Structure 1
Amino acid sequence: MEAIRNKTPRKGSWRAALHKLRRFAWSGGALMPARAGTPRADDTVRSWLEQTVGTVDFLAHVDRDLRFLYVSDASLRFIGYHRGYLHTLTLRDLIPEQDTATLDGLLARASETGDIEKATLCLVKSLTYPLDVEVRAVRSRHHGVDGFAIAAFDVSSWRAIEARLTYELHHDPMTGLDNLSALLPALMRAQQTADEGGGCTALILLDLDDYQRINRALGYDAGDALLRDTAQRLQRLATRGERLARVASDKFAVVLSAPTRVAAIDAAEALARQLQTAVQQPYAYGGQAVHLSASAGIAIYPDARAASKHAQHHSPLLRRADRALAQAKSAGGNALAFHQPTDDPADAERLKLEADLYNGVRNGEFSLHFQPITKSHTGAVVGVEALIRWHHPVLGLVAPATFIPLAESIGLINYLGNWVLKAACMQLVSWDRQGIALQYVAVNVSPQQFRDPRFTQSVRDAIKLTGIDPCRIVLEITESLLMHDPNHAKTLLEEVTELGIRFAVDDFGTGYSSLAYLQSFPLAKLKIDRSFVENLLTSRNDRAIVSAVVGLAQTLKLELVAEGVETEAQRTLLTEMGCNHIQGWLVCQALPSEELAQRFEAQELYLHEIA
């Protein structure tokens, strides 16, 4: 620790010592002799120099043959040699054989540049103890003899701490196994070796199934103890040529190599099965038997597609093995799966689309299209549904079915949902100014948006921003959203309904809501899912479902809208069955606001007149 604390001042000390030593040597001044009997410098010079060199562990002057011309008293105490004995040695005699090349390189650089050069090597103390020292050397002359001024200080403590920190950086403190930081370079080297030698590398990821139940049931001490036991079991199975690591809380990894792809597959599967079997053996903790299982995912490098090409060692093998592990987990656990290379392009495309989606939000690439909702028996328009569209600069119009789930997964859906609500309300107000007075605009609300604590406030913000009458806003939610947490949904619906907002259940009939629940929710509309309308003319089951929904809506006094109406025959049958509102391509596809306004101006669409 002393070496570390004194690192900064020592640096200045050895530099000053070297310069003073060099200065007196070049001037021919008498320094402390390396031989007994040589005249000493006067006390003033000696005191002045010793004050400087005393803060440096080792300071000496050597000739070209590395014989000592000068050694400070402090240096003699540091290395544990008598001055007379040191006279029989050279600097090279104090250096272990494995470090002589380092010393020679240091002195060669000092000779060539004339500057102070440095290197870290070992110095043997008292003929026995090796010390790590950092050495500085500079070309110099002593009493007309060419040589080198040498300064060194002990870095053994620092190197020991460095070694300990390096170990801790690359090892898991609980199990003593390599960690992810150590595994990644090993994995890279194994792949490089496979590239150069034509072999293959396999990566096994082993994850303990539902391990959190151990922590919940027995406590974290038990969980840690069983993890250590698991690590020992796996270590006994991993051979010398296989690298075992703990890469996450309950996840382990093994890297192995084989001469061929077939051999790698066989070896990886055999080892993975052995590891799973080891985990399945009963554990004991606190007198209680504990049973575990593990899932395994395996990836091979190079993969099947790259087997005939020059493989790239930067291939994301860890990610592929993780995907295989997820597949094994999805099979119910205690399973094994190999990565399938055909999955990679889809993942890469998804990642690219995620980045594009963020850019799309920043660049304003989203717009609204509006689809009319009409009276089924007259065709008069009562309202519109606002539908978000993404105009990708390269891909063109991206389907909502593609980007909506993506936005949900990366946390953008709330932002987009709030934007749609405000933009739809603003458009309704804009149409009012053009004389197109629609009764309402319907806006879809995602489950994430609905459960956001700020949802009610975002609705208030939209009303305040646009000045719209709240009763002209219809928020569409799904059955599954209502049934996820009925009590919370009921509370939130009542809270927002008090603002004057109306709610519609979208895609009705595809969920599992009951009449009792529907009666308890403050709803205004039901929308029959398009899947029941599509085969309405040919499927008795679909007709029966639609008939039941019509009866339910009439009983609950809810307005009913049929989605996906594309033919006149569908419209006629729905009207006869008692469905008073329709939406679909028969009336009009979803259009930008300007085009929809043009349809009204051309009288291709007309408004429903309220009596």
Structure 2
Amino acid sequence: DYKRSFEQYVQAGAKIDAEQANYLAAAHTVEPLLEKLNAIAELNAYATRNNAETEARITMWAICAAVLLASLLGLTVALIISRSITKAVGECLGFASRVAQGDLSTRLLPKGESEFGTLAVALNRMTEVLEERDAELNQSNTLLQQEVRQHQLAAERAEYLTYYDGLTTLPNRTLFSKLLNQAIRLARRDGKQLAVLFVDLDRFKNINDTLGHEAGDLLLQEVGKRLQGCLRESDTVARLGGDEFVVLLPALHDAADAEVVARKILAATSKSFVALGQEFRVTASVGVSTYPKDGDDEQSLMKNADIAMYQAKEEGKNNFKFYSLQMNANSFERLALESSLRRALDHGEFQLHYQPKIDAHSSRIVGMEALLRWQHPELGIVAPTKFIPIAEETGLIVSIGKWVLKTACAQNVAWQQRGLPHLHMAVNLSRRQFSDEGLLRDVTSILEETGMSADLLELEITESTLMHDVDKAIRTLKAFRDTGVRLAIDNFGTGYSSLSNLTQFPIDTIKIDGSLIHDLSNHAENRGVAEAILAMGRNLSLTVVAECVETKAEADFLREHACDEFQGFYFSKAVTAAKFAELLEATTTTAQEA
């Protein structure tokens, strides 16, 4: 085995040597080929390097060209974008400039959905809001200017009305005061006289109430013009208020010149007026005071002219009076009466007298009228004509009237309790009472308190009071009628009521005014009016009472024309409650014996 292994080893070695020889032989064959390949490889490598360098140069130039082209493209795009932005910015600047100049109607045209498009929409919306705000501001400004103008006009009007009367455009009390004081200073310096004339229209209230306030205003305007026509250019006429005017006559040489003007004023105002298709007449009462005789200051001259004017009214109106010291005494007397009147009710100074109403056919007493008397502790009996107007003006008539009503009702009940006839008690109501809101309540309360039957109370209201406000008068009368109280129109025939008005009033009695009864036999006009009233009373089924019957002739005439009742001195004056009870007892006894 060892030998065989060795032989195998020798064989393998020989084989290896053979293989090595073959390898060497092949190596000698391959070596030139490798050298050749190496040369080729070197050639290829050189060529490759040249190609790479060429490609690198080409790539570099390509990159440079691309960069240049990109730059050119970028520059072009930037230029286009810049121009677009510049245009948009220019449009925005132009838009802003137009807006700044006040053109809020300008708008930008949105282009696409770019930022500038969005900005254009926002700016347009902003301008719309500004335009709306501007319109609101302009409207507010216009309203503010109108309000300012109205305030200016109101201020100018207020300043005008400070010195002038709004209705007549005449100077008012304030301006007249300045002019009068100036005239007094000049008269004192120059040693001259001046006159102040108070002018008050007579019965103006009746016209105002009957024809309406519009007619009254037209009348006042016309009176103002007529007064101006009576004066010199240097004279002044002013309206103090209501129907009161005042005239200033400066630099007079003689007080008699004032009389000339006063007569002119009376003549001018007495001419007929036409307003709203109605023709009517008024008159005036004029009071005159002069400087320095009747006063040396405004207050004295105005007060004394006013006193003189009231004196002219008391003496019949449509007249003028110069101030005198006697008038001042009368004025103080009036003030004293007013002061005493305020205490009279509390001091029990009032009393009632009763005047009987006589049946025209049987001559029996069928009723009575309660008449107020004032027993002054110092002056004695004060005539009603003196204190009733003062009570009206001061408003005391309401409380005095309530006392009269309560006292009269209580007295009538007392007579009934003595077994005397149940008669109608007539009580007068003044205009102030009739317009008092509490009158109906007071009447019903007094009837309940005294226990007198409502149908025995007759309330007398003057014709002029009813005509003051016809509609309200009708409502008030109907309210009284519902309580059962009787109603009478007093002093009928001297006012402005018509037949149509008379039929509207729910009344029971009309009393013919005493001025129409006086001396009927010698006054055909009075007879005609009396006959017409009596006929109207019969046709309307009203009781007709004649007041102030003082003679047999008057009674006979009234009886012949179917007058229902008489009242007057021919039968009896107003007497105290005790004497009236005696009259009732006497007539009752006579009637029983008959």
Task: Name the TM-score, length of structure 2 as normaliser.
Answer: 0.52
Cα distance between partner residues in 1 of 2:196 and 2:429: 48
Specify the alignment match of 2:503 in structure 1.
Answer: 519
Cα distance between partner residues in 1 of 2:381 and 2:578: 18
Determine helix, strand or coil for the equivalent of 1:364.
Answer: coil
Specify the alignment match of 2:554 in structure 1.
Answer: 570
Amino acid aligned to 2:329: P
Specify the alignment match of 2:302 in structure 1.
Answer: 321
Q: Is the 8 A contact 2:509 2:543 kept in 1?
A: yes
Alignment equivalent of 2:521, drawn from 530, 537, 542: 537
Specify the alignment match of 2:193 in structure 1.
Answer: 265
Specify the alignment match of 1:222 in structure 2.
Answer: 156
Cα distance between partner residues in 1 of 2:196 and 2:471: 50
Specify the alignment match of 2:168 in structure 1.
Answer: none
Quote the offset at 1:572 in angstroms. Answer: 2.0
Alignment equivalent of 1:437, drawn from 399, 416, 421: 421
Q: Within 5 Å, give how 1:70-109 maps onto structure 2.
A: none
Q: Within 5 Å, give how 1:173-184 maps onto structure 2.
A: none
Structure-2 change in CA distance of 1:371 and 1:217 (3 Å): farther
Q: Is the 8 A contact 2:351 2:372 kept in 1?
A: yes
Specify the alignment match of 1:184 in structure 2.
Answer: none
Count residues with an aligned counterpart: 351
Structure 2 spans left out of the alignment, 5+ residues: 1-149, 165-171, 198-230, 240-244, 251-288, 313-319
Specify the alignment match of 1:594 in structure 2.
Answer: 578
Task: Name the TM-score, length of structure 1 as normaliser.
Answer: 0.51
- Map Cα deviations across residues 356-391 of structure 1 (whole Å, 9 max, x no partner): 211222211100000000111211111100000011
Structure-2 change in CA distance of 1:445 and 1:466 (3 Å): same
419-428 vs 293-302, greater mean Cα deviation? 293-302
Structure-2 change in CA distance of 1:583 and 1:265 (3 Å): same
- Map Cα deviations across residues 402-434 of structure 1 (whole Å, 9 max, x no partner): 111111111111111111111110000010111
Quote the offset at 1:461 in angstroms. Answer: 1.6
Structure-2 change in CA distance of 1:597 and 1:223 (3 Å): same
Q: Is the 8 A contact 2:354 2:580 kept in 1?
A: yes
Cα distance between partner residues in 1 of 2:160 and 2:422: 66
Specify the alignment match of 1:303 in structure 2.
Answer: 293
Cα distance between partner residues in 1 of 2:475 and 2:238: 48
Cα distance between partner residues in 1 of 2:538 and 2:494: 19
Q: Is the 8 A contact 1:296 1:325 kept in 2?
A: no
Cα distance between partner residues in 2 of 1:374 and 1:217: 69
Specify the alignment match of 1:254 in structure 2.
Answer: 181
Cα distance between partner residues in 2 of 1:259 and 1:440: 65
Quote the offset at 1:318 in angstroms. Answer: 1.0
Cα distance between partner residues in 2 of 1:268 and 1:580: 52
Determine helix, strand or coil for the equivalent of 1:358.
Answer: helix
- Map Cα deviations across residues 52-84 of structure 1 (whole Å, 9 max, x no partner): xxxxxxxxxxxxxxxxxxxxxxxxxxxxxxxxx
Quote the offset at 1:483 in angstroms. Answer: 1.3
Amino acid aligned to 1:540: A
Q: Does 1:374 align with 2:358?
A: yes
Determine helix, strand or coil for the equivalent of 1:522.
Answer: coil
Determine helix, strand or coil for the equivalent of 2:367.
Answer: strand
Specify the alignment match of 1:491 in structure 2.
Answer: 475
Structure-2 change in CA distance of 1:339 and 1:400 (3 Å): closer
Cα distance between partner residues in 2 of 1:267 and 1:409: 29
Alignment equivalent of 1:478, drawn from 440, 459, 462: 462
Determine helix, strand or coil for the equivalent of 1:437.
Answer: coil
Q: Does 1:409 align with 2:393?
A: yes
Structure-2 change in CA distance of 1:318 and 1:563 (3 Å): same
Amino acid aligned to 1:321: M
Cα distance between partner residues in 2 of 1:478 and 1:426: 24
- Map Cα deviations across residues 218-269 of structure 1 (whole Å, 9 max, x no partner): 9651244337899xxxxxxxxxxxxxxx995874352655898992416999
Identity %: 34
Give the greater-gyration-radius structure (CA).
2
Quote the offset at 1:503 in angstroms. Answer: 0.6
- Map Cα deviations across residues 170-190 of structure 1 (whole Å, 9 max, x no partner): xxxxxxxxxxxxxxxxxxxxx
- Map Cα deviations across residues 290-345 of structure 1 (whole Å, 9 max, x no partner): xxx984388667636x9xxxxxxxx98614324537989999xxxx9986555322
Cα distance between partner residues in 2 of 1:294 and 1:572: 50
Quote the offset at 1:538 in angstroms. Answer: 2.2
- Map Cα deviations across residues 495-539 of structure 1 (whole Å, 9 max, x no partner): 111011111011111112111111111000011111121121222
Q: Is the 8 A contact 2:459 2:485 kept in 1?
A: yes
Structure-2 change in CA distance of 1:391 and 1:262 (3 Å): farther
Determine helix, strand or coil for the equivalent of 1:363.
Answer: coil
Cα distance between partner residues in 1 of 2:322 and 2:152: 33
Q: Within 5 Å, give how 1:115-154 maps onto structure 2.
A: none
Q: Is the 8 A contact 2:375 2:382 kept in 1?
A: yes
Q: Is the 8 A contact 1:382 1:608 kept in 2?
A: no
Cα distance between partner residues in 2 of 1:403 and 1:279: 32
Q: Is the 8 A contact 2:194 2:248 kept in 1?
A: no
Amino acid aligned to 2:515: S
Larger strand fraction of residues:
1
Specify the alignment match of 1:11 in structure 2.
Answer: none
Cα distance between partner residues in 2 of 1:297 and 1:457: 53
